[in-house]
Each structure stands twice: as structure tokens, then as C-alpha cells.
Amino acid sequence: MDAALDSLYQEIILDHYKHPHHAGLRDPFEAEVHHVNPTCGDEVTLRVHLSEGVVDDVSYDAVGCSISQASTSVMTDLLIGKPVDEAMQIHQTFLELMQGKGQVEPDEDVLEDGIAFAGVAKFPARVKCALLSWMAFKDATSQTLSKETS
Amino acid sequence: MEGLLPELEIIRKDFPILERQLAGGLPLVYLDSANTSQKPQVVIDTMVDHLEHHNANISRAMHQLGAESTEAFEAARDRVAAFIKAPSRDEVIFTKNATEALNLVANTFAWASGELSVGEGDEVVITEMEHHSNIVPWQLLTERTGATLRWFGLTDDGRLDLSNIDELINERTKVVSLTWVSNMLGTINPVAEIAARAHEVGAVVVVDASQAAPQLPIDVVASGADLLVFTGHKVVGPTGIGVLWGRREVLEALPPFHGGGEMIETVTMARSTYAGIPHKFEAGTPPIIEAIGLGAAVDYLDHVGLDAVHAHEQAVTGYALEGLASVPGVRVLGPLDAASRGGAISFELDGVHPHDIAQVLDSRGVAVRAGHHCAKPAHARFGVQASTRMSSYLYTTPAEIDALVEGLNYTRSYFKVG
């Protein structure tokens, strides 16, 4: 039974949970969104700052379980400093891993610490936890991009 | 342990799912009965027997099966009426669940004319410990009619704050709707006392008995309610069936909810007249098998005896409160004495999120609920995002509480807390 639990709660996840990276809300930002998981009440407020096609900053204030908190932390590590297009590709890769029911082999070159979430995909009830802030990032980035073009 | 059902082992054998083994060959420790209860064999058999031997639509089939099906369905109504001591079987209306029953009531108040009508200047009073299903329908009603929604606050130990009752329930109050037993805090509310004040000002009292019906003997008249709802699946019955009981005068004064077959007296292209209660509120083919299953379920509970079930719940709840107090970092939300609460106990464990607690417990076969339990305002009142909830029932053993407590200690070590 510990093996099943350990596949979910990888050390990397617990480390990010206890010591989240890039936490807190910062200026400047172009869009701020608030997303909730209606089934459990987990919440994230997330800001995105884009500059010349690059994700300059992702800042956040979040409350939730270890999976959602660690996922947010890992996401900021992965996306800050990346060109928007590449960030969106990483987003897509992480989404496919989470929706893969545990059948998708994670790509460590793309997802780095994110591969630790491969085990989460086997727990359908927790997939939404892992995706909460990723969906918030996508929303905030889309809002920013549509503001720029309008 | 005093108060436990003397035939607990026999009762457990009535519930086949309790034999179930989970992943890794672990026995099931089911502590989520406030969410939905498990079903005894007699309920399962009654439903299967009806499907195998008597299935037909009710009240409209002129054949033997139709007569048998109608008789079984109406017999279920009799059993439910006896279960809640309703003065008349016609006052028992079958709905889909408690949520639908509450929406029926809130909507028909909006459509009512005369004394029951709710409109601008009127007030509806609820409480901060309600399930979302006893909040949102009233928000919709008051938003649509221009009435004002007000509510009782909570004390720090999770009881209703009645200090302003005479101001809160006043001559403008048309409806007071409250839960009998909180699904999150476990609190048993003084329904009769609040109903007495509501009746002084002529308000109608609606009681959500979804958590009370499984574990307290119910006498609808003595309760003080004018309307009372509960759901089948928490009283060892199936899903898809709920109950609205109402005093005859109130039900007769309210307009129909859904229009359709069964609820009419006669229909012309221009207008219709409506059937009397209960059929006025039962449009369309009802959940026949589910109603019959509910009849068997309340029969089962009556056979065990609700006084005995309540004593068992109190004994197990008291034992669980002691066990939880022994785990460092646990904070129970709601009253700490078993006598004034039901069998649902929500708690926090310092340093571990409820999702993670539930996940670790599940890996040990212990099923609990984690989240806001459809009571976000009550959580917000205590500054809590989410909680873990264990809930016992007539088949719960002290050994299962021990498994929970051990699981919580294990959770602390797994997450290296403390």
C-alpha cells in the first residue's frame, strides 16, 4: 500500500509542497485570474507578466492540497523565462500526461520535475488538483494575449 | 461500550458491501455514511424482486402487473408516512432527492398567491450551517422576488447563534428554513424552539432532515416543521428518491411545481385542473423502483429502531471524538460533546490538507470525505478551506474508529508532521 502512495507522493512533490517556488503575488502583471476546484474548494489567484513574447513572471497565491501546491510550484519553474509559444507547448505536454490515465511516458527533457506527476494520472480524483494552476496560467496568458491584439 | 447496537455483528451481515475487500486485500472501513449510506440486502432484494416480477408503470396500467406495481409504490408511501409519523399518507410526496424537494418548496413559494406568496419586503431566514441545497434555492427565490435573504450566524463551538432570534425572525419573515442536523458540524439544532418563534410571526418552517432522518426518531408534527425534506440514499435506501412532507393546508395552498402526467385532474387545450395531494406534486412517471426500495429501507430502520440507532451513533461518535482528540494536531469543527451532535465529524489535521489525508486513509481502506461537503459558508465561518469528515452509521464498529485513528497517526508520519 505504501508503494501505491509513494507513486503519487514522489519526494519531488513533497519538497515542492513544503518549499514552494515563486510563491506570492507580484507586480507587474497584465492579467490576474482566480480559479477554484468546485469539488474541494482549492483556490489559486495567479498573475502572468509577459514581455516581448516571453513569460517574464508567473506569481500566485494558492490554497490547496500537496498535489495542487506542488504542481503550481513546478509549473512556475518550468514556464518563467520561456517564450510564450514554448510555455504553451509545455502546458500541452503536461496536460496530455495528466489526462493519459497513467499510460503516457513522461518526457523529462520537457517536463523536468513535472515528470513526478506521472503517478497522479493514475488517481482520477487528483488530476484536477494537479491541473488547477496550469488552467489558471492558460486563462491568464490568453487574456493577456487577447488584450495585446485588441 | 454502552449504547452500541447489541446485534451489531448481525446488522453488519445485512450489508453485503461491508464484506468487500479493497486493493491489496484490505477490508473496507466505510466512514462516509453522511455522504451516502450502504444498503442492506433486503433493500436490494426488494428492488430486484419488483423488477423481476412486478414491473409496470403505476396508476395508469389496467393490468395485473400495473395493479401490483401501483400497490407496491403506494405501500412505500405508507411506510414512509409511518417512519416520520405523518398524520396523513397524502402529505408524503416523493421527489428525486432532498435537493429537488427544497427546490419544489422554494419555487412554489415564488409562484404562490395569498398568504404563502413571497415578494418584495418579505424576508426568508436560513442559517450559516446549511448545505448548499438549502442556501441556493432561497437565494434564487429572494433574487427573483425581491425578498430579502437573512441568516442565523454560528457560535465558535458550531451552534446556531440564537441571540438575535427575535429580531431575525420578525413580522416580515415568511419562511424559516434550517437543517435539523448539520452535515458538516454535526450540530443538532433546536428546531422546535425556532419553529415556535417562526409560528409566532406567521412564518412557514422548512426543515432539512437529510442528516436527521438517518439517525433520529422523527415525528414531523412534534418537530414543529410545516414542511420537511429528506433523501432516500442516506437512510439505507437507494439514490434517486427523496421525500417532501408537508402539513396538508400548506401543501394544498401551494401551486404545482412540475406540470405533466399524473398531477392533473383534467386537461383541455385551454387550461388544466390539478390532482389533490400528493399527486399534484408528482408529475410524470416517478422513480417507482426507488420508492419501493425506500419503503423497504425505512422498514428496516424501524425494525432496528431509531432510538437504538441514535444511541449507537452517539456511542460511536463519542468514541471517535476521544480517538480524534488523541491525535496531535487534530481540530474538530463543531460541538465536542456527542450528546448534542450527529454522527458526522469534520476535522482538520495540522500540516496536512484534507485531500492528502483522505488519500492516505484510502490507501489503508478507510473511506472518508474531504472537501467542503457542500457547506462552503460554514467552512468560511471557521476560516477553513476544506476539512476531512468521518461519518458513522448503524453498522460502524469501534474497531473501525481505531483504524481511522491509526490511519491519521500514519498520515502524520507519512507527511513528516510534528
The model's pLDDT over A87-141, given as tens digits with 9 standing for 90+, comes to 999 999 999 999 988 888 888 889 998 999 998 998 888 999 999 999 999 999 9
Interface of A with B (CB under 8 A): 1-2, 4-5, 8-9, 14, 39-43, 63-67, 69, 123, 126, 129
Residue among B23, B356, B371 minimizing CB distance to A41 = B371
CB A48 within 8 A of CB A30: yes
Question: Mind listing the pLDDT tens digit for each residue in B154-193?
Answer: 999 999 999 999 999 999 999 999 999 999 999 999 999 9
Question: What is the rounded CA–CA span in Å between residue B126 and residue B117?
Answer: 17
Give the helix/strand (H/E) hosting B242.
strand B242-246
Q: How far is A24 from chain B (nearest CA, A)?
A: 18
Give A-chain residues touching B414 at CB under 8 angstroms.
5, 9
Classified as helix, coil or strand, B370 is strand
Chain B residue numbers touching A43 (CB-CB < 8 A): 385
The span from the CA of B373 to the CA of B34, in Å, is 10
In this predicted structure, the answer to whether residue B61 has a pLDDT above a threshold of 80 is no
Give the mean model confidence (pLDDT) for residues B124-145: 97
Interval A78-83 mean pLDDT = 96
CATH fold for the domain made of A3-149 = Sufe protein. Chain: A (3.90.1010)
Q: Using the beta-carbon criterion (under 8 Å), do B355 and A66 form an inter-chain contact?
A: yes
pLDDT digits (tens, 9 = 90+) for B9-22: 999 999 999 999 99
* pTM metric for this prediction: 0.94
Q: How far apart are CA B246 and CA A39, in angstroms?
A: 32
Portions of chain B given CATH number 3.90.1150.10:
8-40+305-414
Torsion of CA B377, B382, B386, B387, to 10 degrees: -120
Tell whether the torsion through CA atoms of B52, B54, B60 and B63 is positive or negative. positive
Q: Residue B86 to residues A11, B81, B92, B263: CA-CA distances in angstroms?
A: 58, 5, 8, 21
Q: With bands split at pLDDT 50, 70 and 90, how would you rate the model's confidence at B8?
A: very high
Q: Which of B23, B26, B386 sits opposite A40 (nearest CB)?
A: B386
pLDDT at position A104: 86
Output the 3-class SS for A23-81: EECCCCCCEEEEEECCCCCCEEEEEEEEECCEEEEEEEEEECCHHHHHHHHHHHHHHCC
Q: Is the pLDDT of residue B332 over 70?
A: yes
What cell numbers appear for A89 in the block?
507547448
Please give the Cα distance from A69 to A19 (Å, whole number).
10
Domain(s) of CATH 3.40.640.10: residues in chain B: 45-303
What is the model's pLDDT at position B385? 87
Interatomic CA distance for residues B236 and B300, integer angstroms: 8
User: In sequence order, which residues have a C-beta less than 8 Å from that of residue A7 and are 6 or more positions away?
Assistant: A119, A122
Residue B95, phi then psi, degrees to nearest 5: -125, -175
Torsion of CA B117, B118, B124, B129, to 10 degrees: 80
Output the pLDDT for position A1: 52
Q: Does pLDDT of B52 surpass 70?
A: yes
| Nearest Cα to Cα of residue B400 among B346, B330, B320, B305 | B320
* Distance in angstroms (rounded) separating the CA atoms of residues A18 and A39: 24
Distance from CA of A18 to the nearest CA of B (A): 10
Contact B303, B82 (CB under 8 A): no
Selected for mutation to probe chain A from B353, B372, B389, B411 (highest A CB count within 10 Å) is B353
Per-domain boundaries in chain A: 3-149
Kindly determine whether residue A39 and residue B364, on different chains, have CB atoms separated by under 8 Å. Answer: no
A11 CB burial (10 A radius; 0-12, 13-18, 19+): exposed
Mean pLDDT for all residues in chain B: 96
Comparing alpha-carbon positions, the chain B residue that sits nearest to A123 is: B359
Give me the CATH topology for the region B8-40+305-414: Aspartate Aminotransferase, domain 1 (3.90.1150)
pLDDT value for B69:
96
Q: Over 90: is that where the pLDDT of A5 sits? A: no
How much is the pLDDT for B247? 98
Give the mean pLDDT of chain A: 92
Q: Which chain A residues contact residue B379 at CB under 8 A?
A: 41
Residue A30, CB-side half-sphere exposure with 13 Å CA sphere: 21
Average pLDDT over residues B229-233: 98
**Pairwise pLDDT comparison (A60 vs B385), residue with the higher score:** A60
* Mutation site for B-interface testing, chosen from A10, A65, A128, A131 by largest number of B Cβ within 10 Å: A65
Q: Residue B35: which pLDDT band, with cuts at 50, 70 and 90?
A: very high
Predicted pLDDT of residue B304: 98
**Which residues of chain B approach chain A closer than 8 Å at the C-beta?**
23-24, 26, 353-356, 359-360, 363-364, 370-372, 376, 379, 385-386, 414-415
Percent of chain B with pLDDT over 70: 100
The whole-angstrom separation of Cα A97 and Cα B217 is 51
d(Cα A113, Cα B318) in Å, to the nearest integer? 45
What count of other Cβ atoms lies within 10 Å of the Cβ of residue A148? 10
**pLDDT for B129 beyond 90:** yes
Average pLDDT (B108-127) is: 95
Closest Cβ–Cβ partner in A40, A67, A69 for B370: A40
Half-sphere exposure (CA, 13 Å, Cβ side) for B166? 0
pLDDT at B136 over 90: yes
Q: Name the grid cell of B253.
A: 395552498
CB contacts, 8 Å: A64 with chain B: 353, 355, 385
pLDDT in tens, B257-288: 999 988 998 999 999 999 999 999 999 999 99
Per-position DSSP letters for B254-282, written without gaps between them? SPPSS-STTSEEEE-SS-EEEPPTTGGG-
| A to B CB pairs, distance under 8 Å | 53
Q: Is the ipTM of this complex over 0.90?
A: no
Domain covering B45-303 assigned CATH 3.40.640.10 in the classification: yes
| Catalytic positions of B | 374
User: Residue B119 to residues B141, B230, B256: CA-CA distances in angstroms?
Assistant: 9, 27, 18
Which positions in chain B touch A16 (Cβ < 8 Å)?
none
Strand locations in B87-183 (E): 92-95, 123-127, 148-152, 173-179
Binary contact (A67, B379; C-beta < 8 A) = no
Among the partner residues A5, A8, A63, nearest to B385 by beta-carbon distance: A63
What is the chain A residue with the closest CA to B416?
Answer: A14
> Does residue B290 register a pLDDT over 70?
yes
Nearest chain B CA: its distance from A85 CA (Å): 33
